[in-house]
């Protein structure tokens, strides 16, 4: 990954990003140093030097590091069985048969945190393709489009 440039964001842009993040807007504290890191792959929003937000197709998403650092956040969660873990941590989209539990209020397009059934630790972040109850009931098909997972280039980003 090649870093193109890094500079501080203006308050107006920070406010826009916080609004787009919705419930995750609290990841950016009002007193935090907020920078944008432009690379050849993705743009990152650094909060106090940590890559807390990634811009995918000009839309902000929290990173797993930000979810782990702010465990008091309310996340829409999907629980996968242990057989699905190796696929999830290799970047595969999450299929319905591997899902054992999902929040009932999940709707298509929601940002969800994928955790394993034993440890309940975040493995990936994805965008739901179907509702929470449909994820659990379905016996085939994709349920979540994977956006970022443990061990990918976003997770391993060193600044």
Domain ranges of the chain: 3-69, 77-149
Answer for the pair 145, 110: CB distance below 8 angstroms, yes or no.
no
Interval 121-141 mean pLDDT: 94
Q: Output the CATH code of domain 77-149.
A: 2.30.130.10
Check whether 73 has a pLDDT greater than 80: no
pLDDT, tens digit, for every residue of 76-100?
999 999 999 999 999 999 999 999 9
Cβ neighbours of residue 36 under 8 Å, at least 6 residues apart? 6, 7, 8, 9, 43, 44, 45, 46
pLDDT band, very low/low/confident/very high, at 103 (cuts 50, 70, 90):
very high
Which of 43-47, 66-70, 80-84 has the lowest average pLDDT? 66-70
Interval 126-153 mean pLDDT: 93
pLDDT of residue 125: 94
pLDDT band, very low/low/confident/very high, at 112 (cuts 50, 70, 90):
very high
* Domain spanning 3-69, CATH class: alpha beta
């Amino acid at each position: 990954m090649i870093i193109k440039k890094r500079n501080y964001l203006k308050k107006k842009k920070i406010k826009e990003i916080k609004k787009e993040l919705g419930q995750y807007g609290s990841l950016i504290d009002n007193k935090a140093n907020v920078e944008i890191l432009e690379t050849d792959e993705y743009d990152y929003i650094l909060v106090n030097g940590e890559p807390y937000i990634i811009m995918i197709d000009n839309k902000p998403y929290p990173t797993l590091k930000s979810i782990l650092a702010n465990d008091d956040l309310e996340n829409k969660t999907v629980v996968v069985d242990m057989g699905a873990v190796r696929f999830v941590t290799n970047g595969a989209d999450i299929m319905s048969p591997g899902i054992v539990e999902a929040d009932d209020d999940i709707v298509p397009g929601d940002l969800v945190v994928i955790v394993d059934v034993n440890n309940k630790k975040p493995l990936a972040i994805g965008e739901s393709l179907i509702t929470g109850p449909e994820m659990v009931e379905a016996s085939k098909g994709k349920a979540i489009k994977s956006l970022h997972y443990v061990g990918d280039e976003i997770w391993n980003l060193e600044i």
